[in-house]
Structures are given as structure tokens and as C-alpha cells.
Structure 1
Amino acid sequence: MGLMVFLCAVWGLNQVAAKLANAGISPVLQAGLRSAGAVPLLWAWSAWRGVALFNRDGSLGAGLLAGLMFAGEFALIFWGLDYTAASRAVVFLYTAPFVVAAGMHVLVPAERLNRVQTLGLGCAFLGIIAAFGETLALPSGTQWIGDAMLLASAVLWGATTLVVRNSALGRLSAEKTLFYQLAVSAVALPLASLALGEAGLRQPTPLVWGLLAFQVAGVAFASYLAWFWLITRYPATRLSAFSFLTPLFGMGFGAVLLGEPLTWPLMLGMGLVGSGIWLVNRK
């Protein structure tokens, strides 16, 4: 639980880092460079620990599928943000834990949530709506396209977790599971950036390169490696409940580092998310 809270804080800080780095590198290309930069780090780490990345273990199909879903998730997120507001995007994106809960309910009966835990998951989602839902009016113009893309990205996020948890990937090392996703997305996301007509590198400054380095080493390598280690050892639905903390940490870091307003809805949202996580994970 302590590691999950720390990871959510890192991912929340990543939201601020990515937002600042967008000034010098287009978003989808930035995600692709992040994966590409993390691949050699993961390779070196695996070699140091003696973890095999290229042995035949029957995981290739599941690994490529998880990698493509991982890349598709980020492509849809960044493409969808061209059509809809970031605050609306967060609400749709964080329906992903419900995808995990529904999938695990069917696939792994031992990890089914009881009524109180289901109530906790709903309570945490209400916290996201309280913090970000002030712009949740009916979509106008083409906004519904972005909403649909973010909802699809949430399905891919949840489905990736289900594939990792319930396929041959669940029996592999966290290093190899992550390697599949980084390697595939390192190729797919730059191609998606070209297809979307992004500007690419826009005279990035040393600060932008530093923020990208943080995303490469701290997020794509270290934090995702820890995440895949966790979901092969602990109930996926309970872990997913913690992900509701990520956007709230993002708003908090935005207030501290970017001077963005810290509002009462955020405080209410934090309380509801914390209560929901407690209900999901209590004995």
C-alpha cells in the first residue's frame, strides 16, 4: 500500500513534468521517446540481475498484445486531448479501475469485490468527479469525440492490466513484462505521432530534456517496473483502486510547482478517494 501511494505520487508529478515538456516536444512523440529511452535502462538492469528477456517461454503473443494496448492507450489519450478538456479527460480515463474490477470478477472469482468494496470503488470515483467534474456538462461540438477516445483509452488501460494478470505474462518477471510494452510503444508511438501530424521537436530547452529524463528513468523505467511487480503478486482490483490518487497528486503538484489553484473540490475529492481506497482494502 505504501509503494502504491508512492507510485501514484510519482505518476501525479509526471503529469506536471509532461505538461511542462509539451512546450518543447509534442505529446505523443514525448511518450514514444520516454519508452525508447527506458528500453536500454531496463535492458541493462535485467542483464545486471541476470533476468532473461529473449528466452522462449510462450509469452510472445500476450506480450505483443499488451504492448500494442499500452501504446494505443497513450495515443488515444493525447489525441483525445485535442478534442476535449483535460478535466473531462481525467474523469473518463479513471473509469479504468471498473474495467479491471469487472474483468477480474469474471476471470478470477477469488478476487471478486464484495458489496462494501464495490461501494468503496464507487466512492473513490465520486472523489474524481468532485475534484474534476465542474466541467462535466453535456459535450459540445466535437467534444464527444475526445470523450469517447478517453473512454476507449481507459478500457485499454484496464484490459492491459487484465492481460498481464491472467496470461503467461503473469508468470514472468516484471522486467520482461515491462520490456514488451516499452519496446512495442517505442516503435508505435513515434509512428502515431507522424500519423497525427505532430510538430515533433520544437526547440526543446535543457529543462525540457531534464523533464524527459525524469520521465524515462523515474516513470517509464522505475515506476512501471514496480507496478508490474505489484500486479503479479497482489489483487489487481485493490491495486487499481489506488490509481484514483494519481490525478489528485497531479493537481496538488500543479498547485505547488505551477501555482495552479488548490480548490475545495480537490480537498473533497481527496477525502472521498481516501475513504474509497480504505473501503476497498480494509480487512
Structure 2
Amino acid sequence: MPLKHVLLAILAAAAYGFAFVAIKAGVAEIPPLLLTGYRFFFAAVPLVFFAGRPDVGARWLIAYGVMQGVVMFGLLFMAISLGMPAGLASIVVQMQVFFTIVISAVLFGERPGPTQIAGAAVALAGIGLIGWSRAEDAPLMPFLLVLVSAAAWGIANIIAKAAKPQKMLPFVLWSSLAAPVPLFVLSAVFEGTTFGLPPHMPSLVGFGSIAFLAWPTTVFAFTAWVFLLRKHPAAVVTPFALLIPVFGMGSTAVAFGERLDAQAALGSLLIFFGLMINIFGPRLVRRI
């Protein structure tokens, strides 16, 4: 991989990781479902008018936009607003890797290999340890919401796999249009907001949160990631995803002083190690 592509992969991972700072800052003043709606509205508008039409049917755009935007990110933003540490959320949500493997096995017959099963077992042990820690010193609901969010991310991955879009930027932008209206309705029902309107004028921090989530995270990082996957084998690109929780946990520790207790830290290491087994394990086995 050329150096410029390595730097692009690192920038994309950093954008995904730093997004957890933007999420926590945003939900501190904007209701989480409303904030999620703003993220996808401004990710799509006005760029959707210049990106061309997608090469997949409307049902795929709606399915992906609702699952990724409404369910996955809606639940993730809610979890962080309810007290889930943003840095911890950045690593727990990576369980989407294993949810994707399981769903692919059920729907497409893509049976996981021994290293994938081993990695999932290690990561699940980490999840159990974090769940035990959360049950002792914090409400368990935000942690469970992040797990459901990870499952929704896995389903969204399968939808994208089945849709087989060739033009990824139009796919991302047009599918983003499916998320704001349901999110604004849900926010009105459950958060007491007026459709699409904040309860008060956001501060510069709130506007900055929306802007970062919409453009560097949704538009730039996703498009860069797809570009790299088209240029290089997935086995070369996907290890950079391990940097996402590193940037996520590091940036939230600096920005908010988040610290993990011993059990949560050990659980996070187990999830990280499980991801490493899943990504690097097959290559190590081939070399033996």
C-alpha cells in the first residue's frame, strides 16, 4: 500500500474515532435522536444534488438508511446520552464485525473459520466482563443499547452486501436521506421536540458536533474507506479499523477525562484481542 493510502486509512480511522467526542459533546445539548437526524440530513444535503443517482433500487437505499441511520446510530447516540462512556462505546460497537460474520453465515452460508470463531469467543468474554462491570457501577441499559447498535451495524453491512452498489458516494448520500424523517418523528414522540427543531439554539460546540458527524465522519471517512477497499485487498485495509477504538478511547480520555475501571479495561483488551485474532489469524495460520 502506498504511503499516501496508508495516511488516508489512518485519517479515516481517526475521523471515526474522534466522532465519539463529537457525539458526546452533541448529546450534551441536543437530544440524541434529533442529533442523529441532523447528522444524516446534513450529510446528504446539499451534496446529494451533485453526486449523481445511485445504481441500486430505492428499497435498498431505504433499508440501509433506516438500519444504519435510524437504528444503529440512533441507539448508539441514545446510549451515550444515557451515560455509556463514549470511549468504551467505540470499542464495544466493534462487535459489529462478529454480528456480520454470524448473519453472513445464516443468510449466505459463509461459514466462519476456526480463527474467526476463536476471535469471537475472546471478544464475547470481553463483552461479558464489561457487562459485569457496568452492572456493578452503572446502569446496564446503555451498554445493552450499544450491543444492539452493533447488531444493527452488522445487519446494515449485510444490506450493503446484498445491494452491491458500484457507486458508493451516491449510495451513502441517497441512503442518508432515508434517516432524518423517521428520526425527527421519533424525537418528537420520545424526546418532546418539535419536528426537526432543537429545543433551543445549539451552541458553537453543538453546531461543530453536527458538522463533524455529517462531513468528516459520514461523507469523508466512509468514502475513503470504500476507495481503499477497492484499491487494495480487504486483508490489507481492515486492520486499520483497529485504530478506531484507539482514537476513540484516547480522544475521549483527553476531551472528557474518561477512565476505565480495571474490569472494563480488561474487557476492552479482550475485545481488541478478539478483533486482532479475527483479522490477522487467518494469515498467521497460513504461514504455519
- Using the size of structure 1 for normalisation, the TM-score is 0.74
C-alpha contact 1:69 1:157 (8 A) present in aligned 2: yes
**How far off its partner does 1:13 sit?**
0.4
The residue that corresponds to 2:273 in the other structure is 272
Q: Find the residue that maps to 2:42 and give its secondary structure.
A: helix
The structure-2 alpha-carbon separation of the partners of 1:58 and 1:218, relative to structure 1 and needing over 3 Å to count, comes to closer
Match of residue 180, structure 1, among 174, 182, 186: 174
2:165 is matched with which residue: 151, 166, 171? 171
- Runs of at least 5 residues in structure 2 that lack an aligned partner in the other structure: none
Amino acid at match of 1:278: F
Displacement of 1:107 in angstroms is 4.4
1:194 aligns with one of 188, 191, 196: 188
Q: Read off the aligned partner of 2:160 and give its amino acid letter.
A: V
Q: CA deviation at 1:172?
A: 3.1
Partner secondary structure for residue 31 of structure 1: helix
1:255 is matched with 253
Q: What letter matches 1:16 in structure 2?
A: V
Query: Which of 35, 60, 63 is 2:40 aligned to?
Result: 35
| In structure 1, C-alpha distance between the alignment counterparts of 2:283 and 2:184, rounded to whole Å | 39
Match runs of 1:205-244 below 5 Å: 205-228=203-226, 243=241
1:98 aligns with 2:132: no
Q: Does the 8 Å contact 1:32/1:190 carry over to 2?
A: yes
Secondary structure of residue in 1 paired with 2:177:
helix
Structure 1 residue 154 and structure 2 residue 150: aligned? yes
* CA shift for structure 1 position 230: 5.9
Verify the 8 A CA contact 2:92 2:127 in the aligned structure 1: no
Q: TM-score, normalised by structure 2?
A: 0.73
Contact 2:36 2:77 survives alignment (8 Å): no
Task: State the percentage of identical aligned residues.
Answer: 24
Deviations 1:17-59 (A, max 9, x none): 121223332222111111111112532551xxxx434xxx562
State whether residues 255 and 262 of structure 1, in contact with CA within 8 Å, keep that contact through their aligned partners in structure 2: no
Q: How does 1:104-143 map to 2 (within 5 A)?
A: 104-108=104-108, 112-123=111-122, 135-137=133-135, 143=139
Task: Count residues in correspondence.
Answer: 270
Distance between the aligned counterparts of 1:79 and 1:197, measured in 2? 11
Alignment deviations for residues 205-225 of structure 1 (CA, whole Å, 9 cap, x no partner): 223322322222101211123
- The letter for the 2-side match of 1:210 is G
Deviation per CA, 1:132-186: give whole Å up to 9, x if none. 567243798xx555555433322211001001012xx313310232123310112
